[in-house]
């Protein structure tokens, strides 16, 4: 989701897939879902430096999952945004920055695994980004503060002592 149409892919030139209109993306997710065991969507969206996802992000993420995605992972805001679960599947609105020189210090690495029953499990590794590099947080108190912050900007999740992200109240298509 980019505001620059010059970057769009066309039938005659490579580029980005613009997803403000999710029609093509939803079609591609359905095709991928028919041909893959798991489909993870990585999308560039949101307003820069805003820790709350825009309503269109939340709507599109749910559409992606309804179309067959097993997880949605976002970027672009240059800061952390919340996490939520929809239909039991994780949506990570933005992981922050990794190497950008920015005033946004907190970032994270998401570890997604698929368990024996086909459920996507999410672990969150809190990090800092500064000086053009990313480092894992190792101080217990800083990790607890990070987790508390992530829970405060997320939607119905807890992060346990092992960094597992647990849905406390995930949305379904019925609510």
Residues in the chain: 175
The tokens describing 87, both together, are: 């239909």
Place of tokens 């994270």: 108
Secondary-structure percent of the chain, ordered helix, strand, coil, rounded to 5 = 25, 30, 45
Across the strands, what pairs with 28? none
CA 159 to chain centre: 16
Q: What does the block give as tokens for 92?
A: 């990570």
The dihedral formed by the CA atoms of 141, 72, 17 and 54, expressed in degrees to the nearest 10 = -70
Contact call for residues 136 and 127 (beta carbons, < 8 A): yes
pTM, to two decimals:
0.86
Residuewise pLDDT in 10s, the chain (175 residues): 565 667 777 889 887 766 677 888 899 999 999 999 999 999 988 888 888 999 999 999 999 999 999 999 998 888 899 999 999 999 999 988 766 655 567 889 999 999 989 899 999 999 988 777 888 999 999 999 999 999 999 999 999 999 999 999 766 665 5
């Amino acid at each position: 989701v980019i505001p620059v149409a010059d970057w769009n892919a066309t039938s005659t030139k490579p580029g980005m897939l613009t997803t403000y209109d999710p029609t093509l993306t939803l079609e591609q997710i359905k095709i991928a879902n028919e041909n893959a065991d798991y489909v993870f969507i990585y999308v560039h969206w949101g307003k820069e430096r805003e820790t709350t996802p825009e309503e269109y992000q939340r709507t599109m993420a749910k559409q992606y999952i309804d179309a067959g995605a097993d997880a949605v992972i976002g970027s672009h805001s240059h800061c952390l945004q919340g996490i939520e679960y929809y239909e039991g599947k994780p949506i990570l609105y933005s992981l922050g920055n990794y190497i950008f020189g920015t005033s946004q210090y907190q970032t994270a690495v998401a570890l997604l695994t698929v368990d024996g029953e086909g459920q996507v499990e999410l672990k969150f590794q809190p990090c800092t980004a500064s000086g053009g590099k990313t480092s894992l947080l190792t101080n217990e108190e800083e990790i607890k503060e990070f987790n508390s912050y992530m829970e405060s900007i997320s939607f119905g999740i807890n992060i346990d002592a092992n960094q597992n992200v647990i849905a406390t109240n995930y949305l379904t298509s019925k609510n």
